[in-house]
Amino acid sequence: MSSFPAQANTSLLNRYLTPEIFNELKYLQTKTGFSLNQAIESGLKNPDSTIGIYAGDAESYRLFFKIFKPVIETYHKISIDQIHPSDLNPMDDRPTAPLSHAIVSYRIRIARNLKRFAFPTLMDDMDRAGVEELAVNALLKLKGDLKGSYIPLGELTKSQRVTLAAEHLLFGRGDRFMEAAGINRNWPASRGIFISDDHRFAVWINEEDHLRIISLDRTGTPRTTVGITKTYNRLARAMAHLEQNLKFARDPLLGYLTSCPSNLGTGMRAGVHICLPGFKTWEKEITETADKYQLQIRGTHGEKTEIKDNVVDISNRQRLGITEKKCIETLEQGLCAILADQRFTG
């Protein structure tokens, strides 16, 4: 496409892609061969995209900075003028605030891509197999409670599928946004799940990013034995091991580099599944409170899914320009505000 695409939607791509920027960037290609057309294909095909633009490799952000910059600054509500801070040291195991019966589970995930490989939007079969091999080798060295095994998606048994799906640890073929971005190519080759023996830690390989590293605790009884700091510290230990064994794509200002600009920086989405019986009635008010604390609301089965049985996914929206710990604190503060309003908890 060499002429400016007309769009009528609310995506950040639509807001910032002017004919001037389009014409300046349209014939550029990264060294691995990623173009503006590829970056915006998903946004153009899906008018209801929130962001609408993906990176194909680490270089995409710099080469197409004219369009990525305003998108990133608006999404993360920052200006890109400082070194991205990072702090993945363990946290004090303090009582979790808020401790609520409404919380069903805590989940924190971190997105990472390996240096020197194209990202999932652009990678070929060789890249995908290479990422899988390097990641699995590193993961199989994990010890203690992080010790686990790797199952390629194509080799999952029916019962493994059922178990992992019930635990919210399964991933499937990406939705239409990822489909249009090219992330589902040659599905499910070289995609798989590393899962710890206790199923509290998992790594998705070759989903939207090379790695999605997940720590997940269901509450249940006794409720006080789990909490966001435990979930976080497990993840921090895993990350320290992975940092030593793998080289991640990173930029001083943009932090860890991810397929979608919404995940730049920490790559961290820290959230809870929380049961809010008042959600349908008070959706507008709950969303306003969430917005005030820079939190995001998703459906029970992930982004752009329905809310089932009043179980809502609430997580931090900003990931760039703040530390991992700040992501957690933001979540806790916002949750306290939501839980303080008894209309919402029913």
Q: How far is the CB of 111 from ligand ADP (least distance, A)?
A: 8
Is 301 a binding residue for ligand ADP by CB under 6 A? The answer is yes
Q: Which stretch binds ligand ADP (CB under 6 A): 134-142, 178-186, 295-303, 332-340?
A: 295-303
- Which residue in 191, 234, 273, 325 binds ligand ADP (CB under 6 A)? 273
Q: Which stretch binds ligand ADP (CB under 6 A): 26-34, 147-155, 266-274, 279-287?
A: 266-274
- By CB under 6 A, the count of residues binding ligand ADP is 16
| Closer of 300 and 310 to ligand ADP (Cβ) | 300
| Closer of 90 and 302 to ligand ADP (Cβ) | 302
3-state secondary structure the chain: CCCCCCCCCCCHHHHHCCHHHHHHHCCCECCCCCEHHHHHHHHHHCCCCCCCCCCCCHHHHHHCHHHHHHHHHHHHCCCCCCCCCCCCCCCCCCCCCCCCCCEEEEEEEEEECECCCCCCCCCCHHHHHHHHHHHHHHHCCCCHHHCEEEEEHHHCCHHHHHHHHHCCCCCCCCCHHHHHHCCCCCCCCCCEEEEECCCCEEEEECCCCCEEEEEEEECCCCHHHCCHHHHHHHHHHHHHHHHHHCCECEECCCEECCCCHHHCECCEEEEEEEECCCHHHHHHHHHHHHHHCCEEEEECCECCCCCECCEEEEEECCCCCCCHHHHHHHHHHHHHHHHHCHHHHC
| Closer of 109 and 325 to ligand ADP (Cβ) | 109
Residues 6+ apart with CB under 8 A from 158: none
| Closer of 109 and 191 to ligand ADP (Cβ) | 109
Q: Which stretch binds ligand ADP (CB under 6 A): 61-69, 92-100, 142-150, 267-275?
A: 267-275
Q: How far is the CB of 232 from ligand ADP (least distance, A)?
A: 13
Residues 148-187 that bind ligand ADP (CB under 6 A): 168
Is 269 a binding residue for ligand ADP by CB under 6 A? The answer is yes
Is 324 a binding residue for ligand ADP by CB under 6 A? The answer is no
Give the closest residue to 177 by CA, choosing from 317, 321, 71, 40: 40
- Which residue in 178, 205, 264, 272 binds ligand ADP (CB under 6 A)? 272
- Which residue in 19, 47, 277, 302 binds ligand ADP (CB under 6 A)? 302
- Residue sitting closest to ligand ADP (CB): 302
Q: How far is the CB of 298 from ligand ADP (least distance, A)?
A: 5
Q: How far is the CB of 219 from ligand ADP (least distance, A)?
A: 10
Encoded one letter per residue, x for contact with ligand ADP by CB under 6 A and - for no contact, window 188-217 reads ------------------------x---x-
Give the closest residue to 266 by CA, choosing from 338, 201, 213, 207: 213
Token pair listed for 336: 């306290």
Is 112 a binding residue for ligand ADP by CB under 6 A? The answer is no
Write out the residues near ligand ADP by the rule CB under 6 A: 105, 107, 109, 168, 212, 216, 269, 271-273, 298, 300-303, 313
